[in-house]
């Protein structure tokens, strides 16, 4: 039946529903849609703001930059700065290459000292060998990740005291971000249990809550869900 042949009361109802459908399409949100439940659990035993812990011993990885020195000076290894190459090796010039990836700084010192023993014997050096390895300019290989509806999606360097709040501010929220459903995923070994932590963004932002303002560790993934960007009507009315 042609629309103009319908009774006036029916046409009015059809018009109202058409306007509602148009508003829904323009604002970019389904009026009848349901949000998925927020993943994760709140774990009060996790390190968090006001209850942070020290990071485990630093593990060297490419492309970390290291400051290396050794004594006695007769070894001819003055203070030098070297970058860990993609193959995990550090180039000590004429003293050879040393594989340091996967070692702590203390282990790297020991390995370089062992590498220098034959050289010291060749030079008939009898003094004990001492090696110092320090990290230059902080970490170059440790990151956390922010994924989802944020201004800057990607990886961010981690120093040791970053929290969920730091990550949110660093990545930036968009008009369609939904931080109230954000959650934190910790990396785990193959076949190991998943560790997914629920985040109470409103509590962190509005109340200064620390329960879910977790301390971040290398490899953490902060997931920030989002909806469709607001359409014309949503933009006009601040939606």
The answer on 162 and 52 residing in a single domain is yes
- Give the residue carrying structure tokens 């959650």: 183
pLDDT at 9: 53
pLDDT at 23: 45
The answer on 224 and 147 residing in a single domain is yes
Q: Which two tokens stand for residue 203?
A: 């509590």
Q: How far apart are CA 22 and CA 20, in angstroms?
A: 5
- Give the residue carrying structure tokens 């990545």: 171
The answer on 204 and 91 residing in a single domain is no
The answer on 193 and 158 residing in a single domain is yes
Which residue, among 185, 203, 175, 193, has the nearest Cα to 146 in the 3D structure? 185
Instruction: Judge whether 169 lies within some domain.
Output: yes
pLDDT at 137: 84
The answer on 205 and 162 residing in a single domain is yes
The answer on 216 and 104 residing in a single domain is no
The answer on 156 and 49 residing in a single domain is yes
Instruction: Judge whether 185 lies within some domain.
Output: yes
Question: What is the pairing mode between strands 80-83 and 89-91?
Answer: unpaired
The answer on 150 and 51 residing in a single domain is yes
pLDDT at 192: 87
Task: Identify the CATH number of the domain in which residue 167 sits.
Answer: 3.10.560.10
DSSP 72-90: SGGG---SEEEEPPTTSEE
42 neighbors 211 (Cβ within 8 angstroms): yes
The answer on 190 and 131 residing in a single domain is no
Which domain, by its residues, includes 102?
65-135
Task: Identify the CATH number of the domain in which residue 106 sits.
Answer: 3.30.1950.10
Residue 134, strand partner residues? 67
The answer on 219 and 170 residing in a single domain is yes
Angstrom CA distances, 116 to 113, 156, 188, 210, stand at 5, 37, 37, 49
Instruction: Judge whether 14 lies within some domain.
Output: no
CA 81 to chain centre: 27
Contacts of 45 (CB under 8 A, 6+ apart): none
184 neighbors 169 (Cβ within 8 angstroms): no
The answer on 120 and 156 residing in a single domain is no
pLDDT at 32: 38
Q: How far apart are CA 153 and CA 77, in angstroms?
A: 42
Angstrom CA distances, 58 to 9, 69, 131, 135, stand at 74, 19, 17, 9
pTM, 2 dp:
0.76
pLDDT at 22: 45
Asked which of 135, 168, 187 is the last residue of a domain, the reply is 135
Instruction: Judge whether 72 lies within some domain.
Output: yes
Work out how many domains the chain is built from and give that number: 2
Instruction: Judge whether 20 lies within some domain.
Output: no
Contacts of 165 (CB under 8 A, 6+ apart): 49, 204, 205, 213
Q: Which residues of the chain have pLDDT under 70?
A: 1-35, 229-239
């Amino acid at each position: 039946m042609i629309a103009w042949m319908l009774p006036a009361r029916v046409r009015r109802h059809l018009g109202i529903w058409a306007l509602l459908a148009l508003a829904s399409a323009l604002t970019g949100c389904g009026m009848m849609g349901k949000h998925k439940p927020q993943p994760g659990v709140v774990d009060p035993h996790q390190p968090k703001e006001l209850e942070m812990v020290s990071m485990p011993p630093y593990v060297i990885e490419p492309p970390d930059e290291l400051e290396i020195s050794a004594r006695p000076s007769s070894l001819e290894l003055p203070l030098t700065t070297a970058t860990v190459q993609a193959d995990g090796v550090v180039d000590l010039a004429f003293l050879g290459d040393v594989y340091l990836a996967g070692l702590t700084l203390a282990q790297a010192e020991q390995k370089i000292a062992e590498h220098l023993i034959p050289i010291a014997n060749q030079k008939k050096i009898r003094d004990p060998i001492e090696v110092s390895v320090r990290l230059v300019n902080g970490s170059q290989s440790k990151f956390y990740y922010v994924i989802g509806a944020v201004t800057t999606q990607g990886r961010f360097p981690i120093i040791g005291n970053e929290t969920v709040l730091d990550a949110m501010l660093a990545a930036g929220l968009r008009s369609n971000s939904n931080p109230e459903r954000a959650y934190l995923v910790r990396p785990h070994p193959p076949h190991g249990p998943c560790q997914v932590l629920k985040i109470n963004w409103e509590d962190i932002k509005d109340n200064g809550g620390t329960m879910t303002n977790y301390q971040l560790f290398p490899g953490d993934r902060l997931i920030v869900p989002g909806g469709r960007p607001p359409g014309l009507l949503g933009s006009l009315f601040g939606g």
